[in-house]
């Protein structure tokens, strides 16, 4: 993920398949691992894999913040603003019940959650 944020796409393309293989060997995956795998899939262009991880997270817990964030990111990449706003609304609603649970993965991905919530609130400001 660091390579992706640094714009080193050649390195992402080289290392992502290895990282994904490593995650697949960890099965069964928890929500934290699925989110990580989904983000790697997202930056590597393996969008069906990323979608499968988001779906799995939300199937287990429909309000899981990381699953909602991953779905919103994928909707953005797909240019699907209807889905994006739907996931953003769900994320904002879930914040009140999920953040107090202090799940380990929420603490680990606190910056992602904070940024996604800020973006969602900004995006939905003034919308019905």
pLDDT in tens, 112-122: 999 999 999 99
Number of domains in the chain: 1
- CA–CA dist 75, 115 (Å, integer): 16
Q: pLDDT (tens digit, 9 = 90+) per residue, 19-49?
A: 666 767 677 889 999 998 899 888 888 899 9
Nearest to 87 by CA among 56, 124, 115: 124
CATH of the domain at 63: 1.25.40.10
Which range of residues forms the domain containing residue 27? 2-124
- Token reading at 1: 């993920």
Query: What are 81-127's pLDDT values in tens digits?
Result: 999 999 999 999 999 999 999 999 999 999 999 999 999 999 988 76
Say how far apart CA 9 and CA 29 lie, in whole Å.
26
């Amino acid at each position: 993920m660091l390579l992706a944020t640094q714009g080193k796409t050649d390195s992402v393309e080289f290392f992502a398949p290895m990282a994904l293989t490593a995650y697949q060997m960890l099965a069964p995956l928890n929500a934290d691992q699925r989110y990580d795998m989904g983000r790697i899939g997202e930056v590597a262009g393996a969008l069906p894999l990323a979608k499968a991880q988001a779906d799995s997270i939300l199937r287990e817990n429909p309000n899981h913040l990381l699953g909602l964030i991953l779905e919103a990111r994928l909707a953005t990449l797909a240019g699907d603003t209807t889905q994006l706003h739907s996931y953003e609304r769900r994320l904002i609603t879930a914040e009140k019940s999920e953040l107090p649970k202090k799940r380990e993965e929420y603490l680990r991905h606190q910056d992602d959650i904070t940024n996604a919530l800020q973006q969602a609130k900004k995006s939905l400001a003034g919308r019905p």
